[in-house]
Structure 1
Amino acid sequence: MDLLLWIVLPYAALTVFVVGHVWRYRHDQFGWTTRSTQLLERRRLRPAILLFHVGLLAVIGGHVLGILVPASWTASAGVDEDLYHGVSVTAGTLSGLMLLAGFVLLVARREGDARVRSTTTRTDRLTSLVLGVVVVSGMYATVGENLLGGGYEYRETVAPWFRGLATLDPDADLIAGAPLAYRVHAAGAFLLYALWPFSRLVHAWSVPLGYLGRSHILYRSRRPAAAEDLRSRRRVAA
């Protein structure tokens, strides 16, 4: 079971993640969208989407530092374990609460508004379920295990296992003995990766960089008076 969960599942999920994105881009470009519901309801969407995305970016940054940066590197930089633990727990709790609040508001909006709910698919609900498991288990690991439970040194177990996946030398025993919250969080994350290419999450890769160099759009009125007024303003500006 440890072999299936901590070696087979991660590599299978990452394979589906890559191949699924390639397949969808080649065969479903018209579906490569957020399928935004902003036109249906925007009052509750604005605070929810802001909390969710700001919290998400902060959480991703914390994971990069905590998982990809070995403990020996931070120690050599003069950051002792007490300082690292205090900063990571404080920042992780605040960013996690923002992410969780935004997620709850988004789900409540989607299920509470009839028009928005009518646009919701089974894949949307499955994505929300898996994402909810990842967020809640991550919050429990941060608050329950580290803040209230006295701390758990995940950088000596979970982090080396994760880095081992990148070097094709993972040690399943490192994470198999981790607290349940960490194992649920890791397994849920890889399930989310496998689901990603077939959900709305693909919009994360559609950054509108082309707008930065796009020419300005000129609007011309069909009314002669308005057109003449526009030409007069341009002559005065010149």
Structure 2
Amino acid sequence: MTTLHNFFFNVYPYVCLSVFLMGSLARFDRDQYTWKSDSSQLLRKGQLRWGSNLFHIGILFLFFGHAVGLLTPHFFYEGFMSAAVKQRLAIYAGGTAGVICFVGLSLLLHRRIFDPRIRLTSHKTDLFILVILWVQLVLGLITLPYSYGHSDGQAMLVLADWAQRIVTFRPDAAGLVALEWPYKVHLVLGMTIFLLFPFSRLVHVWSGFGTLAYFFRPYQVVRSRKIGLPPTRSDPQSHVPR
């Protein structure tokens, strides 16, 4: 178990992150026509509106909540918030978002499996990744009672310390040994989702974050041209051959 523990929490994270980054880049470079969400909205809209909206609202909150909660050093907030208060906040806010996301994903999964038209046009990887996400959400909800039992916030501090050591290339998973099994399985499956990311429809998430660049792009300059007058030297289009 010591060898497995060391592999899954000290080595496996870097394997998953390497495949996640390099695999996404390779797919964008070689298979851009497959870089899409494969929406099935045209086949049937039933359950899609509620399922998709609830799922995306919940998953975005969970993603940023996990990122901020795990990667923010304790000294940033210890002056105005204790670890116990932060953990209770994570339980209530994350639990609410988890339930919302679970309901939405359950609707999407039911639609994919039990609608004959959608099931026939769905790739096996679509169903596979939805099932993995569903199991991951269930595991996340299972951890809530355990987190509530750690009222002093020590479990959150252990998880945050491990995550911060991973991103700063100082891996040390010794503190995770004493944690309950749902936390460990939840971490391993979460890293596995990053491993499978470049080979599934999840790559369209990159495009969603890429749209933020539109807020920072320069304005497009459009110059009008007077009709009926010959172009002048100052006209930027005068060099264009007719």
User: How high is the TM-score relative to the length of structure 1?
Assistant: 0.82
Distance in 2 (alpha carbons) for counterparts of 1:135 and 1:127: 12
Shift of 1:41: 1.0
CA deviation vs aligned residue, 1:76-111 (integer Å, no higher than 9, x gap): 2x1134432332221111111001111111100110
CA distance in 2, matches of 1:128, 1:176: 29
Q: 2:83 touches 2:154 (CA, 8 Å); kept in 1?
A: no
Code of the residue aligned with 2:207 in structure 1: it is S
Comparing 185-194 and 53-62, the one that deviates more: 53-62
Q: Give the Cα–Cα distance (whole angstroms) in 2 for the partners of residues 129 and 13 of structure 1.
A: 19
Structure 2 partner of 1:90: 92
Match of 1:154 in 2: 155
| 1:1-238 paired onto structure 2 within 5 Å | 1-76=4-79, 78-142=80-144, 144-147=145-148, 149-151=149-151, 153-207=154-208, 209=211
> What is the alpha-carbon distance in structure 1 between the residues aligned to residue 177 and residue 88 of structure 2?
26
Report the RMSD for the aligned CA atoms in angstroms: 2.1
Relative distance call for 1:211 and 1:11 in structure 2 (3 A) is: closer
For residue 220 of structure 1, what is the aligned residue in structure 2? none
Q: 1:116-161, CA deviations, whole angstroms, 9 ceiling, x for partnerless residues?
A: 111222212221232122211111112x2123x4546323211111
1:211 positional shift: 7.9
Higher-helix-fraction structure: 1
Q: What code does the residue aligned with 1:26 have?
A: D
Question: Any unmatched runs of 5+ in structure 2?
Answer: 221-242
User: Runs of 4 or more off by more than 6 Å in structure 1?
Assistant: 210-215
Moved more, 98-107 or 204-213: 204-213
- Matches of 1:181 and 1:8 in 2, distance apart? 20
* 84-93 or 197-206, larger mean C-alpha shift: 84-93
Q: Which runs of 5+ in 1 are unaligned?
A: 216-238
How far 1:176 moved relative to its partner? 2.8
Q: Is the 8 A contact 2:147 2:155 kept in 1?
A: no
Question: How many corresponding residue pairs?
Answer: 212
Asked whether the equivalents of residues 83 and 157 of structure 2 are also in contact (C-alpha less than 8 Å), the reply is no
1:6–1:86 Cα change, 3 Å: closer
Q: Measure the CA separation in 2 of the matches of 1:9 and 1:172.
A: 12
Q: Are 1:55 and 1:96, in contact at CA under 8 Å, matched by a contact in 2? A: yes
Q: Distance in 2 between matches of 1:175 and 1:81?
A: 17
Aligned-partner SS, 1:183 = helix
CA distance in 2, matches of 1:154, 1:104: 29
Distance 2:193 2:83 in 1: 31
- Cα 1:170/1:211, change in 2 over 3 Å: closer
Query: Partners of 1:161 and 1:211 in 2: how far apart?
Result: 35
Percent of aligned positions that are identical: 31
